Chains A and B, each alone.
Chain A
């Protein structure tokens, strides 16, 4: 049972608002998408939500509790994060990286138990990288890393999952698999997505950000309109309900010169 609310959230650097007065909610079990052009503030907003940036105004509430007042460990037991990409310097194995997801549930001196090992094995299988378990994490491709970090989020057993462009480096098949998997978790999910068609299909509701502000929000079919695509993204497009999925589907039209 987890609901997320941001109340009038702003984050600024040198007087410039990267996130400007964003109020957003995600009800229990809901998958909420953040879309918007590059630089619209998606990542900054997510970083405020998972706690590595402290907002300059406003609050982030998890079931009514102020997230920035929580200890990092308590926060990490409830929120798992799948970052865009991960710089890795040392040769930790994939298994070691995934097992780190158990850390918030451990005292610092505690070792992993058999139960933890089982969770890690199941998570590796679930994202389809069992055979990579003993490989060095830095040697993986971008897509493999992203799946490993998704597995790490799974063993964290969170109630809210925050994903920043989870499909960035993935082949289309894995994009669909990861998004399907995240939806099936039953957790509350907040994800930034580039691909509007994926957002339309996998999200219950979406928020459109432009210059740090929410310019539209609601179910995908209400939000993804020809007008919005023109004003926010500056492109011409056709939007129709897909005959098979029923989700709104965007087809971009060439820029006329």
Chain B
């Protein structure tokens, strides 16, 4: 292996980082299968995974309960980190996150609305198709609304963006609550509570296909868009004079980010701050160029959420804390810390 040029050294370092993150993800996943309210010895887990284990309660716990949960956690974590990365480029602000911008709340309203109205219910497709679709619509609506409000007066400042996000978030949360109280069907309430807290506890195998497919396709598309995403970082005017049709591109990314958010939130509920912390850490490690950033953010997000969920169901075992509570407990202070130390410009839309 040659490391003669800085570029070659950079590539080697990048490869090592990706390998290390993948290793962390695998270890976290194994830990997620071993640990829990019942501790299952690692050799037993491995035998189960390879199909060598005899049927029994351990096998059921590993294959039907923990494995789908770990996988859903990885998919949702990766997805939230990717969405956060892209939203931050879109609004040129490191404090953007699907949760803070109200996108997750929009998705929740969509999802809850679909449950309460019972669209597609009874046919079994409610939770796997209709609810994600409604969540997507809600996510897109709220993202467009927040962006429109934040830009209303011209420049997109951090203050306007966060205020618009918080305001829309509150309104949409209230709407979710309203739907809950008026629906008053016990089974609805239980299902809805799941969204408002954000948890992976109800993960089942049949929930994995759609989010995994959407994550894979969405991330692949965003990777091919790495160049225009980079251009967004120099601002609207800068991107335009470098040949980007900013209006069309932004619309496309809005739809893509909303689709990802909607589908993920439909299955995991609104888990906050993953999309804030992970992209920030990834950017510190590999820089702001999206071709290198997106894979690192995705892997990091997957590992982070699998570990966070592991913590969520072990720290207070046998209590299963919704992982969204845990990410908010760690992410909130992180957000405040970023708000204090943010080094560079606070406004977007200036010439570049």
Q: With contacts defined as CB atoms under 8 Å apart, how many contacts are there between chain A and chain B in the complex?
A: 108
The answer on a CB contact under 8 Å between A89 and B244 is no
A229 at interface (Cβ–Cβ under 8 A)? no
Interchain CA distance A30-B315 in the complex, whole Å: 72
The answer on a CB contact under 8 Å between B288 and A103 is no
Quick one: which of A86, A87, A104 contacts B243, CB cutoff 8 A? A104
Interchain CA distance A138-B235 in the complex, whole Å: 13
The answer on a CB contact under 8 Å between B230 and A110 is no
The answer on a CB contact under 8 Å between A88 and B351 is no
Q: How big is the A interface, by class?
A: 35 or more
Interchain CA distance A47-B350 in the complex, whole Å: 13
The answer on a CB contact under 8 Å between A86 and B352 is yes
The answer on a CB contact under 8 Å between A90 and B233 is yes
Contact stretch, chosen from B38-46, B211-219, B220-228, B300-308: B220-228
User: From A96, which residue of chain B is reached at the shortest CB distance?
Assistant: B289
Q: Give the chain A neighbours of B348 by CB distance below 8 A.
A: 87, 89
B234 at interface (Cβ–Cβ under 8 A)? yes
The answer on a CB contact under 8 Å between B344 and A88 is yes
Interchain CA distance A144-B165 in the complex, whole Å: 36
A93 at interface (Cβ–Cβ under 8 A)? yes
B153 at interface (Cβ–Cβ under 8 A)? no
B313 at interface (Cβ–Cβ under 8 A)? no
The answer on a CB contact under 8 Å between A89 and B94 is yes
Interchain CA distance A34-B234 in the complex, whole Å: 26
B327-348 at interface with A (beta carbon < 8 Å): 343-345, 347-348
B231 at interface (Cβ–Cβ under 8 A)? yes
B237 at interface (Cβ–Cβ under 8 A)? yes
Interchain CA distance A73-B227 in the complex, whole Å: 13
The answer on a CB contact under 8 Å between A86 and B235 is yes
Pull 9 A–B residue pairs with CB atoms less than 8 Å apart, ordered by A: A52-B237, A73-B243, A73-B244, A75-B243, A80-B241, A81-B241, A88-B352, A103-B228, A138-B345
The answer on a CB contact under 8 Å between A51 and B92 is no
Q: Give the chain A neighbours of B295 by CB distance below 8 A.
A: none
The answer on a CB contact under 8 Å between A72 and B240 is yes
Least distance between B263 CB and chain A CB atoms (Å): 24
Interchain CA distance A53-B345 in the complex, whole Å: 24
The answer on a CB contact under 8 Å between B352 and A108 is no
